[in-house]
Amino acid sequence: WDCTLQEIGEKYGVTRERIRQIEAKVLTQLREVAKKRMLEEYLS
């Protein structure tokens, strides 16, 4: 996958800034899941 934020935005009818915001939110959520899993492994 090698699309720019602009290209993705055009495909879905939103701005590249909105795509950037969504990307940042998803990455934060993924990091939280990873932290939770590591903590669960450590505590078990």
Instruction: Of 6, 27, 34, give the one whose Cα is nearest residue 18.
Output: 6
Q: What is the pTM of this model?
A: 0.79
CA distances from 23 to 11, 13, 26, 27, 35 (A): 15, 16, 5, 6, 18
Q: Is residue 7 predicted with pLDDT exceeding 80?
A: yes
pLDDT in tens, 10-37: 999 999 999 999 999 999 999 999 999 9
Residue with tokens 């990873």: 34
What pLDDT is stored for residue 16 in this prediction?
98
Q: Is residue 1 predicted with pLDDT exceeding 80?
A: no
Any idea where the domains of the chain sit in the sequence? 5-43
What pLDDT is stored for residue 25 in this prediction?
99
- Listed in sequence order, the residues at least 6 apart from 16 whose beta carbon sits closer than 8 Å to its beta carbon are 4, 5, 6, 8, 9
Structure tokens at 20: 């950037």
